[in-house]
Amino acid sequence: MAEDLVLDTAIRDWVLIPLSVVMVLIGILRYFVSKLMRSSPTPDAKMVKEGQVVIRARNLKVGANFIPPRSFRTRRFYFTNEENGLLHVPKGEAPTNPQAAMFSDPNMAMDMMKKNLSMIIPQTLTFAWVNFFFSGFVAAKIPFPLTQRFRSMLQNGIDLSTVDVSYVSSRSWYFLNLFGLRGLFSLILGDENAIDDTQRMMQMGGFGFDASKSLGAEKDGLDIIQHEWALPRFEQRAESVLRKLVK
Amino acid sequence: MGSVEKRSKDVMSDIPTFSAENLQNNLKVIQNSRTFLSIIAGVLAGIIGFNGLTGFVFYFVVMLITSVGLMAKAGFSADLYFDSLNRVLFDGFLGGLMSFVLFWTFAYDLVHIF
């Protein structure tokens, strides 16, 4: 039966709006808390040096075609030289697995744990709160129809099976808010820190600044480059540009 | 809404050079505009009372309008400001969808059901 249910105004006042407001506030709170709790780890001098070398090598790769061939070759030699080139890591002293180092380093582990906790705890708490207080009634109607299979997911507290699937419980309103407020946060909180949970969880997987591998990769990258000087006759070009300006 | 787009590419040089910082700024501008417009579109769709598929069609229409607007702002020569044309047109489409659905549901319920 697809007739329109008329829902109590009190539901709107005391369920929908407070839930959204609470979630927005918790998001803002979490942002500020994570800002306060961000501990600055003392950087390891060797890692920083290697990082900078990698950055320099990358700059060389990007700008390779703008410098005359000989200067490019000199620079490349400086980096990839077999004896004392910066990027060449002798096989014997490849650094130990950085992942292991990272986990045994107490600072890093604490940081990761803090980030994880600050994400999971408010979500769990809010979810439990929603379940406790707001279960057992129809909370909202979603404007588009879904198939019957979603019924068990969306209509969790409602025990009638003849109600249209569009009428959902407050749990699904919670999930809808969870995903939909990401955009709002990115507008309110400024651009960089509009991190949402799913993105962070994906980032957690690929960690590990593996120094030796990246150095080796950069070295190979530099070796591969064919230098093609892109500004071979720039004096003539400069002359023509200036002439155009003067005319 | 800051919609200043800076040139990422220098016209004079024959080789493509990009100023990474400007490129990133331009992308951020696109994302902001899309998010904002998807929220507004959600509220509008809810108030008008779109149902089902019509609402999603409305969302795509608004996204297309956004693309056209951005192209107009960029003077229709997108490769001055972005590295690939597809980015301008299709970047934040699905990201705004969830916000659109949330605000659509919200407005629809406020106006029609309660």
Cβ–Cβ of B113/A4 closer than 8 Å?
A: yes
Predicted model pTM: 0.70
User: Which residues of chain B are within 8 Å of residue A229 when distances are taken between CB atoms?
Assistant: none
Cβ–Cβ of B109/A12 closer than 8 Å?
A: yes
Residue B30: Cβ-neighbour burial (10 angstroms; 0-12, 13-18, 19+): buried
Cβ–Cβ of B108/A141 closer than 8 Å?
A: yes
Instruction: For A122-133, write each residue's pLDDT tens digit.
Output: 888 888 888 888
A187 touches chain B (CB under 8 A): yes
User: Which residues of chain B are within 8 Å of residue A196 when distances are taken between CB atoms?
Assistant: none
- A1-10, A100-109, B50-59 — which one is most confidently predicted on average? B50-59
Q: What is the DSSP string of chain A?
A: --PPP---HHHIIIIIHHHHHHHHHHHHHHHHHHHHT---PPPPHHHHHHHHHHHHHHHHHHTGGGS-HHHHHHHHHHHH-TTT-TT---GGGPPP-HHHHHHHSHHHHHHHHHHHHHHHHHHHHHHHHHHHHS-SSEEEE-SS---GGGHHHH-TT---SSS-TTEEEHHHHHHHHHHHHHHHHHHHS-STT---HHHHHHHHHS----HHHHHHHHHHHHHHPPP--S-TTHHHHHHHHHHHHH-
CA R_g for chain A: 29
Nearest to B35 among A5, A65, A187 (CB): A187
- Average model confidence (pLDDT) across chain A: 70
- pLDDT of amino acid A2: 47
Q: Which of A213, A219, A209, A214 is nearest to A85 (CA)?
A: A219
Instruction: For B37-60, write each residue's pLDDT tens digit.
Output: 888 888 888 888 777 788 888 888
B25 touches chain A (CB under 8 A): no
The C-alpha atoms of residue A131 and residue A136 are separated, in whole angstroms, by 9
The C-alpha atoms of residue B103 and residue B105 are separated, in whole angstroms, by 5
Whether residue A5 contacts residue A160, with contact meaning beta carbons closer than 8 Å, is answered with no
Question: Is pLDDT of B73 > 80?
Answer: no
> Nearest CA to CA, how far is A192 from chain B (Å)?
9
The C-alpha atoms of residue B104 and residue A166 are separated, in whole angstroms, by 14
Provide ipTM, 2 decimals. Answer: 0.75
Give the domain ranges of chain B: 16-111
The C-alpha atoms of residue A68 and residue A230 are separated, in whole angstroms, by 9
Determine the residue among A17, A20, A186 to mutate to test chain B binding: the one whose Cβ has the most chain B Cβ atoms within 10 Å.
A186
The C-alpha atoms of residue A146 and residue A143 are separated, in whole angstroms, by 10
> Nearest CA to CA, how far is A10 from chain B (Å)?
9
Whether residue B43 contacts residue B103, with contact meaning beta carbons closer than 8 Å, is answered with yes
Say which DSSP state B21 is in: H
Instruction: For A68-101, write each residue's pLDDT tens digit.
Output: 777 777 877 777 775 556 555 554 444 444 444 5
Instruction: For A172-212, write each residue's pLDDT tens digit.
Output: 888 888 888 877 888 887 665 545 444 444 444 333 445 55
User: Which residues of chain A are within 8 Å of residue B100 when distances are taken between CB atoms?
Assistant: 180
Instruction: For A202-216, write each residue's pLDDT tens digit.
Output: 444 333 445 556 666
The C-alpha atoms of residue A127 and residue A22 are separated, in whole angstroms, by 12
Cβ–Cβ of B106/A20 closer than 8 Å?
A: yes
